[in-house]
């Protein structure tokens, strides 16, 4: 599931770009443009949505460990740095990078909910996976609040 989180980001970002169809800022209005803009959709920032979803995926791996707070803070700093770089380069509006945080978090939440609900059923229906053995039920769904699942 963790590997699918960045893919979810890409699909959600591209869907929003098609629906919103906001043009990028005009780099010719900048006194010293640092990067050429391709003129494609601006909202949301694909780089920022990737940074946010990558941070979320790494946090999923680190949760319930002693590193969870460090990973959370590092991921947040990384995502904010990527967002700031997109603004500094002049290829996105502030609303593009702020919206990217919402798009990534919403898409990951939606995907995670679907995964937790339907993944075992879908994976059990894939014939060649039988050779690897039975797919266990989602262990996180059976943990009591005090259990770590490890």
Task: Tell me the catalytic residues.
Answer: 47, 92
Residues 48/86, Cβ–Cβ less than 8 Å: yes
Model pLDDT, residue 73: 96
Q: In whole angstroms, what is the distance from residue 64 CA to residue 93 CA? A: 36
Helix, strand, or coil here: 99? helix
Which stretch of DSSP H or E encloses residue 78? helix 68-88
Mean per-residue pLDDT of the chain:
76
Residue 19 is assigned to a structural domain of this protein: yes
Residue 149 is assigned to a structural domain of this protein: no
Predicted structure pTM score: 0.64
More confident residue, 121 or 30: 121
Residue 16: pLDDT over 50: yes
Question: Total structural domains in the chain?
Answer: 1
Instruction: Write out pLDDT tens, residues 22-75.
Output: 666 665 555 555 565 655 677 888 889 989 989 998 998 898 999 999 999 999
Residue 26 is assigned to a structural domain of this protein: yes
Residue 36 is assigned to a structural domain of this protein: yes
Residue 147 is assigned to a structural domain of this protein: no
CATH number at residue 58: 1.20.144.10
Residues 12/106, Cβ–Cβ less than 8 Å: yes
Instruction: Identify the domain containing residue 18 by its residue range.
Output: 4-142
Q: Which two tokens stand for residue 133?
A: 């053995």
């Amino acid at each position: 599931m963790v590997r699918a989180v960045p893919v979810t980001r890409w699909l959600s970002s591209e869907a929003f770009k098609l629906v919103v169809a906001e043009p990028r800022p005009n780099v010719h209005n900048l006194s010293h443009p640092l990067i050429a803009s391709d003129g494609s959709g601006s909202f949301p920032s694909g780089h920022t949505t990737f940074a946010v979803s990558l941070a979320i995926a790494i946090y999923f791996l680190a949760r319930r460990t002693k590193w969870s707070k460090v990973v959370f803070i590092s991921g947040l700093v990384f995502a904010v740095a990527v967002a700031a770089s997109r603004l500094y380069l002049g290829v996105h509006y502030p609303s593009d990078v702020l919206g990217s945080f919402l798009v990534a978090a919403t898409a990951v939440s939606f995907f995670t909910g679907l995964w937790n609900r339907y993944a075992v059923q879908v994976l059990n229906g894939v014939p060649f996976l039988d050779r690897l053995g039975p797919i266990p039920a989602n262990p996180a769904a059976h943990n009591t609040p005090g259990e770590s699942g490890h």
